[in-house]
Amino acid sequence: MTDDRNEELRILYEDAELIVCHKPAGIAVQSAKIGQKDMVSILRNHLAEERMRRGDASAERSGKKAVREEVPSIYVVHRLDQPVEGVLVFAKTKQAAAGLSRQVSDGSVKKLYQAVCCVCNGNVFESGREYGLVDYLVKDGRTNISSVTKQSCRDAKRAELSFRVIGERNAAPEKSCLLAEIELKTGRHHQIRVQMAHAGLPLYGDRKYNEQWQEFLTEPDKKLFSEKNTGGIPLALYAASLTFRHPVSGEQMTFETAPLSEIFSHFGSERSSAGIAREHA
């Protein structure tokens, strides 16, 4: 299900309790800045328009005047960083929000990401093999940057993920990149970007955690994003798949999506097209 009237809104699934969508890169999940678009306001507008259409149709059938309803509720249960695109689920009721939040907290929500990583320091990673990373991260609120620290450090938080290599390509001369599928097992600030960089695989296009990012840029990418005037090379990370149990019915549901950014096109991502939705019991 998609809304063609709004390029920023790509709905993968919707029912009375929840709504699953593809968040574009560059759009915040929720913003406190006045006038800045975010997914919460975009979804509220979508639901309000749907209500008005239903109200207009009902009023037309009954001969009565349509009545405006209050602003629809949208509840945030998990987030993606503003530069990151991909699958997000929002709740439409307090009951659904509580049920989904419990799953996020207890780790039963399965979140898979894909990222283009720069291979640094001569590291070698085998295709198809699963690697696990466990670190302790601390966030600097002043700079909005997280870093790996010792477990004993004050405010350190445990961060865990696993990844496997599913593709690779040559980047700039004598440089290479790989495509990694990452399963996020905890949800820390900038976790994937920090842990992968610490492991010698900083993300392509990451200006915060990849000091060598410009050395890996390909001429085709420079030309492509310069011609489109998109503000430069985007961060090559997206949320590819999300699995959870429906907060009311208990049905297990999986939703997948492909990246909209052409930064992944060199690899022929395993996700075939944006807007794929899959459900299974």
Residue whose pair of structure tokens reads 């503003």 in the numeric block: 82
The full set of domains in the chain, from first to last, is 10-279 (3.30.2350.10)
| Per-residue pLDDT at 4 exceeds 60 | no
Q: pLDDT at residue 18 above 90?
A: yes
Task: Give the per-residue pLDDT at 224.
Answer: 72
Q: pLDDT tens-digit profile of 102-131?
A: 999 999 999 999 999 999 887 889 989 999
Residue tagged 């979140």 (tokens): 111
Q: At residue 6, does pLDDT exceed 60?
A: no
Total number of residues shown for the chain: 281
DSSP state letters, 66-127 = P-PPPPPP-EE-S---TT-EEEEEEESSHHHHHHHHHHHHHT-SEEEEEEEEE--TT----B
3 state SS of 265: coil
For the entire predicted model, the pTM comes to 0.85
Angle at 96 between CA 94 and CA 100, to 5 degrees: 120
Instruction: Write out pLDDT tens, residues 221-236.
Output: 777 776 665 567 889 9
For residue 175, the model assigns a pLDDT of: 85
C-alpha span between 259 and 115 (Å, rounded): 10
Q: What kind and span of H or E run contains 141?
A: none
Residue type at 150 in one-letter notation = K
Residue 56 has pLDDT above 70, yes or no: no
Query: Does 281 score more than 90 pLDDT?
Result: no
